[in-house]
Amino acid sequence: MAIRVRTAPPNERKLSWWDRLYLPAILTGLRYTWGRLFKKPFTVQYPEERIELGPEFRGRPVLVVEDGRERCVACGLCARVCPPFAIHMQAAETDDPKERYPAVFEINMLRCIYCGLCEEVCPEEAIVMSPEYDFVFRTREEAIYTKEKLLVDKKDLQARLSWLEKMRNPQFGQRYRFRIRNNIHSLKARGLTAQGREVAL
């Protein structure tokens, strides 16, 4: 008993002799190539030329330094939310009983997938995705960035921080200032002001 195997659906168009030569497809490709040949190229001669990236670009994650102090309070949320477990942190106590700082903060750049979840979950806006994308390492040890390599001044990240402030949490109907709301107990205890106003609960 012979078994018939249908190799093509019954409604498929049969190719003509001209179609089987594949000349139309070849000519279409050549027409596109010749059209592009006389247009100005849009390639960039990297690294001599560089593209100016917008503030929404997610590059290498860095730690923000503000007024000579790092913002990070070693809450550990970034390390917990990181999908590839690229962040390693060890907290240490400070003179302030309500504040801590990371004695050790490392990011394995071979594991990092630049998803930005660490930046999104940080209540202090202490870890930010920088515009830097051209970093090189020759060994696996060099790929582990320590805290000294990660610290960047706030002034250098102003474009990204302004963009984050504008884009965060649209469901509130207004911009939600995380650093003020989350640290309101700490600011009031020290008698400090936020945004030039006295802090009130």
pLDDT in tens, 181-200: 555 545 455 554 444 444 44
Report the pLDDT value the prediction gives residue 52, as an integer from 0 to 100: 84
SS (H, E, C) 98-152: CCEEEEEEEEECCCCCCCCHHHHHCCCCCEEECCCCCCCCCCCCCCEECHHHHEE
Phi, psi dihedrals of residue 104, rounded to the nearest 5°: -130, 130
Phi, psi dihedrals of residue 32, rounded to the nearest 5°: -65, -40
Are the CB atoms for 118 and 127 separated by under 8 Å? Answer: yes
As a residue count, the chain comes to 201
Report the pLDDT value the prediction gives residue 2, as an integer from 0 to 100: 65
In the chain the beta strands, taken as DSSP E runs, fall at 61-66, 69-70, 87-93, 100-108, 127-129, 144-145, 151-153, 193-194, 197-198
46-53, long-range: CB < 8 A, 24+ apart: 47/134, 53/131, 53/133
76's tokens: 């550990």
Q: Stretch 100-120: mean pLDDT, rounded?
A: 94
119-156 tens-digit pLDDT: 999 988 899 999 998 888 899 999 999 999 999 999 99
List residues bridging with 61 in a β-sheet: 129
Q: What domains, with CATH codes, occur in the chain?
A: 61-167 (3.30.70.3270), 174-201 (no CATH)
Residue 175 pLDDT class (50, 70, 90 cuts): very low
